[in-house]
Each structure stands twice: as structure tokens, then as C-alpha cells.
Amino acid sequence: MPSYMSPSSHSETESVKYVHTISEAGRLLPSASQWNSIEIDFNLVPQSSSEYGSLPSRYSKSFEYELIITDKQYFKRFLYISVSVVLLILVLILLVELLPHKHSRHGSSKNLTLAVNQALTFFDAQKSGNYPKNSPVKFRGDSGLQDGNSSTPPVHLVGGFYDSGNNMKFTFPTAYTMTLLSWTVIEYHQKYDDIQELGHVGIAKNDMSCWERPEDMDYERPVSICDSSASDLAGEIVAALSAASLVFKEDKDYSGKLVKSAEKLFEVATKEEPDRQGTYTRSDDACGRESSSFYNSSGHTDELVWGGTWLFFATGNVSYLGYATDAFDAAKSNETSIDNGILYWNNKLTATAILFTRLQFFHDLGYPYENAFGESSEMTDSLMCSYLGQNWDKTPGGLILQRSGNEAQLQFAATASFLSKLYSDYLQVLVRSGVNYILGDNPMKMSYMVGYGEQYPTQVHHRSASIPWDGNHYSCEEGERWFKSKDPNPNVVVGAMVGGPNHFDNFTDERGQPVFTEATISGNAGLVAALIALHHPPRHASHDKNGTHLGLDKTGLFENILF
């Protein structure tokens, strides 16, 4: 995860403020050394409890046969054929044992390991601040090193992640991205470890009018500051901090700091009077006014419920679960119809319902939570059935359209794949269809993840990718030339999932049409979540009582809860 997001230091009587960025670049996922793998010895050759081969049978008898060879030439031919057949059988056995097996249960020849690797690499291309020297992305460097200096008083805002192909940093979608990625590490850490990716996973007018690499920025970088009345922003940051604390659980000091910051922020956010609680992008508040045209929040109750739920998992304190379950009905009633059943940066209600359902399945706490748990279970069942039914429109190529209009549809398909796979492996066919569509199984025969497959978008709407990394400084005017160029990007932003096709499976690979070619960190988080959930089980995954091994950690999320 990137460095943890925490509120600025204030006394309890002061209004807590936090800013629209992440304070440091930090890690995306924990080091592989922070997880202890459990080795299981699989005895592929059955071992007998008694050596029957050494015991003579009480029914054994000896017989004598006399073999007469009448034609030596036929006998030699018989021996050659017999030896050849035996050798052929041995070769076939060796091939079966040594060649890679393609299990039919996986249902696809897609290289999901490569897909996960590349999807995570996209986040390397989005990093701001002091750029790591060992990054796999070679067309990026130090940028945004003065971020926060324009604030009064100045604050340290160097680091974090740029959003999409822009040079802006938004806390709201970044916090959602970190929560979602942390969730996948908690649930599927064995899969990440198996493919050696645990170590990987660490608004100005000028910004929009200037097509310029982040390394070349020389214009003012204004800072938006919010107080604790920005309830949705606070709730999402609490969720990110809490989920990250479970990812970094072996680093007790760091994990403890994450939890402490989350608890403090949740306390001040939930203590606000109801009439002061609201969204960070409300029109009368300068906090997120600039963000409203990019990530306009439609409500705040779902984020507070989401934050309270993750804080319960992080601490085991049932008071946080009590808050979340008590406020669940309010969050449900405030959900907009267009967001119903969708998980993305603006709506966390569906994901919360699945977490509640998970609790009910494995650790039903009973009173006073049963109403919220029961309602969540019904919501989840209905959602899963809707994926198989006719509730959603589909493109001719089979992509489920969960939102009307011209929005980037793949982010919704990715999170739907993640949630359905997490909830039930019986939805295997549906789950894989969304990811396979993204990776190239579509009418355009286009992989919508850059760098994956033989054909993928070449004009990604991305400043760093579209301007040559040649040591020269390019001004806004010079950058505009690259923006309008019809040539492929000089730099390949590997792993970026673009917006995707329209409702008729048609895709336009043009830099100037971001609805098709723009990639976002929140969209890629959903892709990573779907890919790791679909990935083959780790080689050393433990078997449950039913004999299956999914690579799912059934108890990791409940580690801090006493039953």
C-alpha cells in the first residue's frame, strides 16, 4: 500500500483536517518476507501401511511352461515391436507427468499471472514524488516535489499516485483503491505470494489545460483542505488505513499507527452533528469543489459504514460493527438507483453487504447484528442472481453494462468479477467472462490492458506515456503537439486498463477520446482484484474439508476478532 493516510495533528477540540493527497509514495503491497508460508507435503505416491509385496500369498503356486521358437526372424520382429511399444508407453507417461497441465476447471488459457504482473505495474507508472530507481517503468522520474508548498500553512504532500493520465492526486479514489487492493491481499495473499507479487504491492486550471508530463510541471499546485465534515472522505480513509493495517500486520509498529490514525479520524467524523456530515464535493464547500467534476460523491453514509466495518476487522472492537450495522439501512436508503448493485469509488454498499454476509456465514454474531446481516445476505443473493439473469444490459460481445451512458464500463465489470468470485466459485463461467473480455476475448480482439496480448491500445490518454522520455523539457505548448499526434505513444504504460468499448463493443484508440483510452488507478484496482481472485490456487494452498483449494484465507480477515 502507499504510505498510510492520516489526518493532520490537532487537539481533540480542534477540527481535524486532511488533504487531497497521500503524504508519501510508500509500498503498494507488503514484502514477501512479511508473510509466513505454510508448506504441506503432498505424498503423490500412496504409501502402504504394510509391505504386502514382501509377503507370499497363501494361494501362490508354481507352474512350468515350455517355449518353442519355430522362426527366429519372426521372434526378433516380435521383440523389436514389444520393446518399441514399451518405450512409447514410457515416453507418453513422462510427457504426461512433465508437461504443464491445463486444468479444465480454470476454463481459460489466459495467462493470468502475466495479467496480474502487468496490472500492478500500472501503479508504478502513476507514482508521484521521488521516483524509485529500480522501478520497472523507465519513462518516469521525480515529479511533484513541491506539492503542498502552496498551502497555508505549507504541508508535506510529496508522493502518492497521479490519477488516470492526469497530473492530479485525489484522496477519495486513491483511498478506495488502497482499500480494495488491501482487501485482495488479505483474502488471497497466498496467490500473491505464489506469483511473487507480495513485494510489489506498495486541481488547477493549468493541470487540465496543459498536456505535460508530471516531471516537467512548473505551474502552481494548489491544495484543497477538508475538515471532518467531509464524512465520505473520512470514511474511505478510515477503511484504507484499517485494511492496510491487516496487510502489514507483521510490522506491528506500522500496523498500529495505521489503526490509531483510523480510530482517531473515525471518532471525529462520526461525532459531527448530522447536519454537518456530508460529502466532500458539496457545492458550498471549497474542500472538494475542484474535484466535483472528476469524482463527485453522491453520499456519505456508505463510506462511514464501510469505514466502520473495516475498523471492526482491524481492531475486533464490536462498537465499530455496531455503528456500521445500525447505519446500514440509512446507507441503503441513500443509495442512488444508478449505483444499485455496483462497487466502485463512489459506492461501497454492495461490498459492505458481502462483508456482512461473510461474517454471517463464518462467524454469525447474532444479536444485535442479525437484521443487518440478514438484509445483507438477501442483497448479496439477489446481486449474484442478477449477474446470471437479465437484470443488466449486455454488449453484443457479452460485456455486462451496469451503468448507462458513456462512462468507462470495464471498472464495473472488473469489480463485479471480483465480488462474484469472492462470494461463490459456482459462478466461474460468468466471473471469467468479464476478465477474459478485458484481456482480448471480445469482438474487437483487443486486449484492453496495455502491454498484454498481441493487440492493445497504443494511444492511451496518459501524459507520461504520450511524451517522449528523452531528457528534454517540454512546455505545455510542446506537450499539446504530442496530445494531438496520431502516432502511438512513445512509452507503453504497461498494465493500464483503459476505459474500454462502447455499448456496441466498438473501441476508438484515440488519445483525445479519454472515455475509451483513459486508465485510472481505481479502475485498475478492480482489475487487480478480479485477476488475483481468478488466479490459479497457490501450489501450497491448504485443502479444506471438501477437498478443494481456492487459495482463500477464510480466517485472516477475522484475526483481531474474539468469538
Phi, psi of 129 (to 5 degrees): 95, -150
Q: Which among 245, 201, 306, 305 has a CA at the least distance from the CA of 559? A: 245
Q: Which among 160, 285, 152 has a CA at the least distance from the CA of 214? A: 160
The dihedral built from the CA positions of residue 118, 120, 123 and 129, taken in this order, carries a sign that is: negative
Distance of CA 543 to the CA centre of its chain: 25
CA end-to-end span of the chain: 29
Question: Are residues 26 and 160 in contact, defined by beta-carbon separation less than 8 angstroms?
Answer: no
Which residues, at least 6 apart from 15, have a Cβ–Cβ distance to it below 8 Å?
A: 227, 228, 268
Q: Per the structure block, which three cell numbers stand in for 466? A: 504520450
Rounded Cα distance between 310 and 239, Å, is 5
Q: Which residue has the cell 476508438?
A: 508
Choose the catalytic residue: 461, 462, 536, 540.
461
What SS3 class is residue 270?
helix
Question: Are residues 201 and 185 in contact, defined by beta-carbon separation less than 8 angstroms?
Answer: yes
Rounded Cα distance between 542 and 552, Å, is 9
Q: What are the beta bridge partners of residue 401?
A: 393
Rounded Cα distance between 244 and 185, Å, is 9
Q: Per the structure block, which three cell numbers stand in for 268? A: 471525529
Rounded Cα distance between 418 and 212, Å, is 35
Q: What are the beta bridge partners of residue 394?
A: 400
Rounded Cα distance between 85 and 92, Å, is 11
Active site residue 461: yes
The CB density around residue 317, as the number of other CB atoms within 10 Å, is 15
Q: Which among 287, 424, 282 has a CA at the least distance from the CA of 361? A: 424
Phi, psi of 100 (to 5 degrees): -60, 140
Rounded Cα distance between 328 and 323, Å, is 8
Question: Are residues 424 and 384 in contact, defined by beta-carbon separation less than 8 angstroms?
Answer: yes
Question: What amino acid positions are annotated as catalytic residues?
Answer: 461
